[in-house]
């Protein structure tokens, strides 16, 4: 059984936040897809009118494209991409071998987030404020200078993203595929509790958390990126081994 890797970036991210993984996947001899999700990779204004349903559709289409070259996919998702990976595992359990969640954006530190005390004001903010600032702090401030993510986004699109976090959290028990969770205790965007909630609530029999201590939210670009890539590569190798054993039996 041949595996492939689907790599999904986060909200307001560019592909630069995840494409460092591509050489590692290539060295493993696996095909991969790394789509640009709707509204990304250009200017923030292109996120106008985009919702989480559009991003999931893009992720699903990329999965189908990848499966034309392999039998099953390992889905690696950064931040919001992790939410998409979780949903793909729910709805395509036969095609998804396993998922890797990096800085999964389940519980956000944003004041607009559903679990924050003033979240009841979020709909009003959506009506009054067209754009809202988006920050992606790095632990390494020199690396942060090279960040090319959007630094603002349409407030209505942010609200759709926040709605998606609550939908996925409620559905976590539907996830049964092997899951590898990577999170930094220093994440100032996705509360580290996100990783523990996912670990505790998914139904997967095979699940792991690997904690990092120094990186910011952009773990695949920040100061521990090589260790993050090695951890993901180790997971990929183990899944390749499991697939080979299944095929042999």
Whole-angstrom CA distances from 49 to 40, 55, 230 are 13, 12, 37
Q: Could you tell me the strand order of the sheet in which 96-102 lies? A: 32-33, 3-8, 72-78, 96-102, 179-184, 207-212
- Among residues 7, 150, 163, the alpha carbon closest in space to that of 75 is found at 7
- Among residues 138, 120, 129, 118, the alpha carbon closest in space to that of 157 is found at 129
- Distance (Å, whole) CA 104 – CA 107: 8
Work out the number of other CB atoms within 10 angstroms of the CB of residue 200. 9
pLDDT recorded at residue 112:
72
pLDDT recorded at residue 121:
57
Mean pLDDT by 10 residues, the chain (249 residues): 96 96 97 98 96 98 98 98 98 98 93 65 69 87 90 93 96 98 96 98 98 96 97 96 63
CA-angle at 131, arms to 126 and 134, nearest 5°: 110
pLDDT recorded at residue 117:
58
pLDDT recorded at residue 242:
76
Domains and CATH numbers, the chain: 3-248 (3.40.50.1820)
Write out the two tokens for 65.
Answer: 């494209």
């Amino acid at each position: 059984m041949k595996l492939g890797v689907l790599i999904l970036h986060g909200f307001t991210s560019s592909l630069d936040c995840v494409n460092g993984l591509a050489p590692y996947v290539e060295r493993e001899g696996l095909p991969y897809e790394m789509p640009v999700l709707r509204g990304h990779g250009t200017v923030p204004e292109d996120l106008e009118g985009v919702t989480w349903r559009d991003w999931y559709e893009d992720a699903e289409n990329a999965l189908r494209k990848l499966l034309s070259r392999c039998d099953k996919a390992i889905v690696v998702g950064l931040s919001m991409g992790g939410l998409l990976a979780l949903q793909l595992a729910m709805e395509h359990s036969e095609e998804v071998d396993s998922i890797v969640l990096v800085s999964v954006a389940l519980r956000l530190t944003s004041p607009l987030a559903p679990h924050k005390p003033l979240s009841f004001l979020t709909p009003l903010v959506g009506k009054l404020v067209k754009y809202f600032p988006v920050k992606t702090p790095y632990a390494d401030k020199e690396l942060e200078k090279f960040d090319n993510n959007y630094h603002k986004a349409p407030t209505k699109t942010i609200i759709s993203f926040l709605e998606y976090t609550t939908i996925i959290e409620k559905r976590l028990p539907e996830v049964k595929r092997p899951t590898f969770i990577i999170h930094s205790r220093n994440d100032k965007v996705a509360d580290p509790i996100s990783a523990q909630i996912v670990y505790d609530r998914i139904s997967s029999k095979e699940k792991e958390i690997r904690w990092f201590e120094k990186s910011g939210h952009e773990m695949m670009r920040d100061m521990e990126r090589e260790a993050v890539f090695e951890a993901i590569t180790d997971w990929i190798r183990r899944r390749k081994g499991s697939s080979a054993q299944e095929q042999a039996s």
